[in-house]
Structure formats: C-alpha cells, structure tokens
C-alpha cells in the first residue's frame, strides 16, 4: 500500500507542477500580447531601437509643434515682406514718373517730391530691418528643426502615449 501512495503523491506533484506551469504561462502570456496590440507610430520614416518614453515623446511633440508654428510664421512674414517690397517698387516707379514731370521751379512741388522720396527711403529702411529680423528668425527656426531632427526624427513611440499627452494639453 505504501508503494501505491508514492505513485499517487508523485502523480499529484506532477499535476500540481503542471498546474503551476500553466498558471505561470497564463500570467506571463498576456504581457507580450498587449505589447503586440499596441499601435506604434514614428516621427519621420520610423526606425528601430527603443521607443520614446512619454516624457521624451512630450518633448518631441512640443518641439514638433514649435517647428510647425515657426514655419507658419515664416510663411506669413515672407508673404508680408514680398507685398511690402512690391509696394516699395511701385512707389519708386511712381516717384520716377513724377520726377520727369516735376516743375523744378516750384519750390513747394520740389519739397513735396522730396518728402515723398524721404517717406519711401524710410519704408526701405523699415523693410530692411524686417528682412534682417526675418533672417534671424529663419536661422532660429532652422536650429529648432535640426534639434527636432536629431532628437526625434525616425524615433518610434506608442500612439496611446501620444493620445494621452494630447489629452493633457486640453
């Protein structure tokens, strides 16, 4: 009777071990399944390597927003500068036409012409100052874009992290 007990107890041990192994498998199995179910995204074309942490992703998203905002500002400013340049060119043509018909014996007419030419010169100076400021902003924008490229471009992240970060902003 003792030998039979040993076989029952060893059978129970095997069942218990198999049960524990099954329990361990069921506990560990969902974790890889969850990672596989997570949708990934990337800046640029994507890449390999470690995923961005939420803090890193938060920084990259902020930097990306800043790059986009600066690009929009540069586009608007460039359009305004182009318009101002055209207006200055037009006023120059008008002044040139007036000069041809200017009565140089009339002091008031000469003074009015000189005042308009002075106003145009001030417009040119203001335009040049805006161009210089624009060029400085372009350089800063390029630096920000390069920093984004080095730190974030072709880096992977999980979409759920991006969604959570965007919800935080609201």
92-109 tens-digit pLDDT: 999 999 999 999 999 999
For residue 127, give both structure tokens.
């335009």
At residue 36, the pLDDT reads 56
Report yes or no on whether pTM surpasses 0.95.
Answer: no
Show the beta-strand stretches assigned E in the chain.
40-42, 156-158
Contacts of 60 (CB under 8 A, 6+ apart): 43, 52, 148, 151, 152, 155, 157
For residue 148, give both structure tokens.
């984004």
What is the C-alpha to C-alpha distance for residues 36 and 137, in angstroms, rounded to an integer?
Answer: 43
Residue 47 · residue 154 · CB < 8 Å: yes
160 pLDDT more than 50: yes
What is the C-alpha to C-alpha distance for residues 162 and 36, in angstroms, rounded to an integer?
Answer: 17
């Amino acid at each position: 009777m003792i030998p039979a007990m040993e076989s029952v107890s060893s059978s129970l041990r095997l069942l218990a071990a198999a049960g524990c192994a099954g329990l361990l498998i069921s506990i560990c199995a969902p974790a890889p399944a969850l990672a596989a179910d997570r949708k990934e995204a990337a800046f640029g074309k994507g890449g390999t390597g470690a995923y961005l942490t939420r803090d890193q992703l938060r920084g990259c998203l902020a930097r990306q927003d800043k790059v986009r905002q600066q690009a929009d500002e540069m586009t608007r400013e460039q359009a305004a500068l182009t318009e101002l340049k055209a207006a200055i060119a037009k006023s120059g043509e008008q002044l040139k036409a007036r000069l041809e018909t200017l009565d140089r014996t009339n002091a008031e007419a000469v003074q009015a012409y000189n005042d308009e030419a002075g106003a145009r010169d001030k417009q040119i100076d203001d335009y040049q100052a805006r161009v210089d400021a624009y060029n400085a902003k372009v350089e800063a924008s390029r630096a920000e874009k390069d920093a984004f490229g080095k730190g974030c471009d072709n880096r992977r992240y999980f979409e759920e992290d991006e969604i959570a970060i965007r919800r935080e902003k609201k």
